[in-house]
DNA sequence: CTGAAAGCGCTAACAA
DNA sequence: TTGTTAGCGCTTTCAG
């Protein structure tokens, strides 16, 4: 293992000089810098992370807390995680992966041990039990998601309420009067996940204003579950002509079942999905959809965190504006029969 | 921040005693232990990770290198990652998330800096450029995947070759004589990803023995791509009655297109998928499939790594035996017309 | 069974 | 522009 002292000796300078060449925290003459850099390369030197963390009081690690639930759409989480990791690297940070398993204890452990300088939390619930801890700590943190009370916290999220409203607006504008919402699995609502409830709120509020009816049904993924849900919906509201789907594993089953029932999309019923663009494009009918900007959420979260770590920027709620892309699954409501 | 010294003072013992209570590396009288533990609790002490890593020469961190490619089936990667993280925690390790982006440099950085004690690599290519580095280092590592030459390496993987063979065996046993294989995206084969090529090899070898024909077609996901692929297959081999699918985003399109063409599953054509059980069960036809044991791969990888870190166990290739579950998508080949 | 003390490799005053 | 030096908080000999 090569140490800073060895580099210093090899370059014929003092340890601190090498340290300063590395950190850039004071000016170094060009020749010295070059000699040091040369030695670093020749010896294959890498600063020891532990020593750095101890002496410098910062680990250059960001903790990322990912839920280990399986009822969420996994690719989105993964995309966020990867965006976090790559963005963090561009700022000189590594990412420590924490699963939800340890719960709030993980927060204590990480902040207490100095393992990480800051943390990013995903899958935030409206009344998340980790929030009090975050408010106490002086460690910077960013939530990806929006809790009920965001006082003293920094949050990055898609504006789900606006997303819901946008879907209704699109359908109402096309003349649809009865809209069914196929939602996430019941468990998601039961634990009051922020995005799910907010979407619903935005949807309902906008529907009220537009004078259209909304029927919301949570749904486990898969064909069988959806067949049941769909039957109930048409049973209760036979006049339903518009669907909003916020559940990736219900998208394809919905299209297949509608087809099977002889309901043409978009002639008889329109479908608007809330999902990543890739899902919308790859579906059997190219879906009109509001995209979930996973990458941008991950990137923004890191950038806010780094800003905080650098003493710039404070608490703030960043809501990304939803964008609806019209594709082949939505069209004018059929004339009333 | 609470330090070990403060705990020692509070408990009225020396620093080393506290350290030994924590590590259990020498016997401590019951009363002393209790007093120390009490102080730890009262003060809310957490050992400083950096100091530990520096003094103890181990960080208690395992690096996990995940590719950032988007052409692989993401949920499997995520499931592995989560299994790695949770298993690692039960052994006292945290997990550092590295994306493929930095490539081999990440290996150098992590081993050189002592950031992690060991690493797990995913998405291994047959001739992976990271392998030479791993062989040089004295840092333990485990691959999830199997390269062409596994000398001096520890690998955990599903036995893809046996998986391919098993699929053919099942279909051949049902009397199918012409089998089409719908594979991963072309890019996956182009970079010689281990699992894709091995599956193909196993499949072909077994087909040769059984005297059945095999036609392999890589395929991007989605309906449009699959429609093209499928047309070409039936064009070239009109007598195809068996399908093996190794591409999650082709599963549902395949079923839909077959249905649309009036080919009944499993009466006219049989389909065997290589995918996570959840996908097989949630599809529009419950699929006969070989499961991808993501969790077990993650878990086993960590356990082997921990064994190495503890000086137990050396290099080894662990191939998990594939298991085929018969569901509703496969049946006897139709009588030749 | 317990203490004292010497580092681990690096950073950041403080000096020059 | 550079060097000297005192820690950072912990582990681990070496003594007792």
Interface check for A323 against chain B (CB to CB < 8 A): the answer is no
Interface check for B112 against chain A (CB to CB < 8 A): the answer is yes
Strand C contacting residues by CB (7 Å): A 1, 3-5, 15-16, 19-20, 22-23, 25, 45, 47-48, 51-52, 54-57; B 12-17, 20, 26-29, 31-33, 51, 54-55
A-facing residues of B in 281-310 (CB < 8 A) are 281-284
Higher pLDDT, B278 or A114: A114
- Cα–Cα–Cα angle for B112, B113, B116, rounded to 5 degrees: 100
Report pLDDT for A47. 97
Report pLDDT for B304. 97
Residue B22 beta carbon within 7 A of nucleic strand D: yes
CA A114: distance to chain centroid? 25
Report pLDDT for B70. 62
Measure in Å the smallest separation between the Cα of A112 and chain B Cα atoms.
5
Report pLDDT for A317. 96
Q: What domains appear along chain B, each with residue ranges and CATH number?
A: 4-47 (1.10.260.40), 61-158+294-320 (3.40.50.2300), 160-292 (3.40.50.2300)
Percent of chain A with pLDDT over 70: 98
User: Is the pLDDT at A92 greater than 90, yes or no?
Assistant: yes
Report pLDDT for A337. 56
- CA contacts within 13 A on the Cβ side of B2: 18
**Is there a contact between A180 and A247 (Cβ–Cβ < 8 Å)?**
no
Confidence of residue A326 (pLDDT cuts 50, 70, 90): very high
User: Is the pLDDT at B284 greater than 70, yes or no?
Assistant: yes
**Is there a contact between A93 and A64 (Cβ–Cβ < 8 Å)?**
no
Report pLDDT for A282. 84
User: Is the pLDDT at B66 greater than 80, yes or no?
Assistant: yes
Give the integer Cα–Cα distance in Å for B70 and B123: 12
Give the integer Cα–Cα distance in Å for B124 and B269: 34
| Closest nucleotide to the alpha carbon of A29, via C1' | D1
Give the integer Cα–Cα distance in Å for A53 and B50: 5
User: Is the pLDDT at A269 greater than 80, yes or no?
Assistant: yes
Q: What is the mean pLDDT of residues B17-25?
A: 97
Residue whose Cα is closest to the C1' of D7: A55
User: Is the pLDDT at A55 greater than 90, yes or no?
Assistant: yes
Interface check for B92 against chain A (CB to CB < 8 A): the answer is no
Q: What is the mean pLDDT of residues B244-254?
A: 93
Interface check for A100 against chain B (CB to CB < 8 A): the answer is no
| pLDDT tens digits along B191-224 | 888 899 999 999 999 999 999 999 999 999 888 8
Q: What is the mean pLDDT of residues A147-174?
A: 97
Percent of chain B with pLDDT over 70: 98
| Closest nucleotide to the alpha carbon of A114, via C1' | D9
Q: What is the mean pLDDT of residues A177-188?
A: 95
| pLDDT tens digits along B40-56 | 999 999 999 999 999 99
| pLDDT tens digits along B123-142 | 888 899 999 999 999 899 99
Confidence of residue A222 (pLDDT cuts 50, 70, 90): confident
| pLDDT tens digits along A196-218 | 999 999 999 999 999 999 999 99
Report pLDDT for B75. 83
Q: What is the mean pLDDT of residues A107-126?
A: 94
């Amino acid at each position: 293992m090569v140490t800073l002292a060895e580099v210093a000796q090899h370059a014929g300078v003092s340890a601190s000089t090498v340290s300063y060449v590395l950190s850039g925290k004071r000016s170094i003459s060009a020749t010295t810098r070059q000699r040091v850099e040369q030695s670093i390369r020749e010896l294959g030197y890498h600063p020891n992370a532990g020593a750095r963390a101890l002496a410098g009081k910062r680990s250059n690690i960001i903790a990322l807390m990912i839920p280990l639930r399986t009822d969420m759409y996994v690719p989105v989480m993964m995309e966020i995680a990867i965006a976090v990791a790559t963005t963090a690297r561009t700022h000189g940070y590594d990412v420590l992966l924490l699963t939800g398993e340890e719960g709030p204890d993980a927060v204590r452990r990480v902040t207490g041990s100095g393992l990480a300088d800051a943390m990013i939390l995903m899958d935030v619930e409206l009344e998340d039990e980790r929030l009090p801890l975050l408010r106490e700590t002086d460690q910077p943190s960013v939530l990806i998601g929006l809790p009920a009370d965001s006082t003293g916290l920094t949050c990055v999220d898609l504006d789900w309420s606006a997303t819901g409203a946008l879907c209704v607006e699109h359908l109402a504008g096309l003349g649809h009067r009865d809209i069914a919402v196929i939602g996430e699995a019941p468990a998601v609502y039961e634990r009051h996940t922020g995005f799910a409830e907010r979407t619903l709120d935005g949807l309902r509020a906008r529907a009220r204003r537009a004078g259209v009816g909304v029927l919301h049904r949570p749904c486990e993924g898969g064909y069988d579950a959806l067949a049941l849900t769909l039957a109930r919906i048409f049973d209760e509201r036979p006049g339903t002509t518009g669907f909003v789907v916020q559940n990736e594993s219900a998208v394809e089953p919905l299209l297949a079942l509608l087809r099977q029932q002889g309901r043409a999309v978009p002639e008889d019923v329109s479908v608007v999905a809330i999902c990543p663009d890739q899902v919308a494009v790859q579906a059997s009918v190219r879906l009109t959809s509001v995209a979930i900007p996973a990458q941008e959420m991950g990137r923004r979260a890191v950038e806010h965190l780094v800003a905080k770590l650098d003493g710039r920027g404070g608490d703030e709620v960043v809501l990304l504006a939803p964008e609806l892309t019209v594709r082949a699954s939505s069209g004018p409501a059929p004339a009333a029969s």
